Structure 1
Amino acid sequence: MSKNIYTEFQIKELEKNPSIISASKRSISYNPEFKTKAVKEYKKRKSLSQIFIEHGFNLKIIGKEKPKLFLQRWRDTFERFGGEGFLTEIRGKGSTGRPSSKPQSAEDQGRSENPIP
């Protein structure tokens, strides 16, 4: 879990970014398309900060160290499961962090995209 605690103002600012699905006091859910783009751009030798800044993120809000942590996890998922891994990724308490092996309904996908803080 993140040590960052976002204010209501920061949450609203984060949610304006199309690369974010949702934000809460303790977490940010990123759009699967952004995750895929970020991994591909990183492989082309773009810096982590540059990737996030070019996609409209304020590093003062999310934290300068967060892009590194995110990209490490996203690269692993992408290399193991491809971009599809981001669509079925399940995270949170009790999760293995691996994509689900069973297909998700639209209702289930909505739940996994909006984690409980």
Structure 2
Amino acid sequence: MTKRYFTRKEQKQLKCNPNVQAVSEKAITYTDEFKRHFIAENEKGKLPREIFETAGLDVELIGIKRIESSGKRWRAAYPKAGVEGLQDTRKTNSGRPSERELTLEEKLKRLEAKNRLLEAENELLKKLDLLERQMLKKNKNRYGTKV
């Protein structure tokens, strides 16, 4: 962790960005959407600094070290747990299992959230499959043979 702290003015400036969920004097919490966007752009070959700049984040204010470590953390988490690995679990996972029984409403909310996540993953896989089939068809038409 860096030794540089954010002033109240800097915190306010960072919080104005739609890709920032929360800011404290020591840390920035980015939205899950931004993390997914970061992974997608990074896989296309964009550098972390470029992705942050394009998202309207002040690279000089945040610091290149913070950007690199965030990118490294997200790239490591994504292959292991997919989109779920990018989510901020600090509030939902304190390390100690809940001792109380969840209400039906809480269970329903959790299941709905999980369902939305799975639907999003399925849509992504469908799009990837379609792109792959299009590329294969394109190559087949180009070379007249199956690749």
Which TM-score bucket, shorter chain as reference?
A: 0.7 to 0.9
Task: Give TM-score scaled by structure 2 length.
Answer: 0.59
Task: Report the alpha carbon displacement of residue 88 of structure 1 after superposing the two structures with TM.
Answer: 5.3
Q: Deviations over 1:74-114 (max 9, x none)?
A: 011111111122235338xx86xxxxxxxxx68xxxxxxxx
SS of the counterpart of 2:29?
strand
Distance 2:5 2:88 in 1: 26
Distance 2:27 2:7 in 1: 11
Question: Which stretches of structure 1, 4 residues or more, deviate above 4 A after TM superposition?
Answer: none
Distance 1:58 1:88 in 2: 22
Q: Which has the higher contact order (CA 8 A, sep 6+)?
A: 1
Between Structure 1 and Structure 2, the one with more helix by share is 2
Work out whether residues 2 and 27 of structure 1, in 8 Å CA contact, stay in contact via their aligned partners in 2. no
Work out whether residues 19 and 30 of structure 1, in 8 Å CA contact, stay in contact via their aligned partners in 2. yes
Distance 1:36 1:80 in 2: 14
SS of the counterpart of 2:87?
helix
Q: Which runs of 5+ in 2 are unaligned?
A: 96-105, 110-147
Structure-2 residue corresponding to 1:82: 82
Q: Which runs of 5+ in 1 are unaligned?
A: 96-104, 107-117
Alignment of 1:21-40 (within 5 A): 21-40=21-40
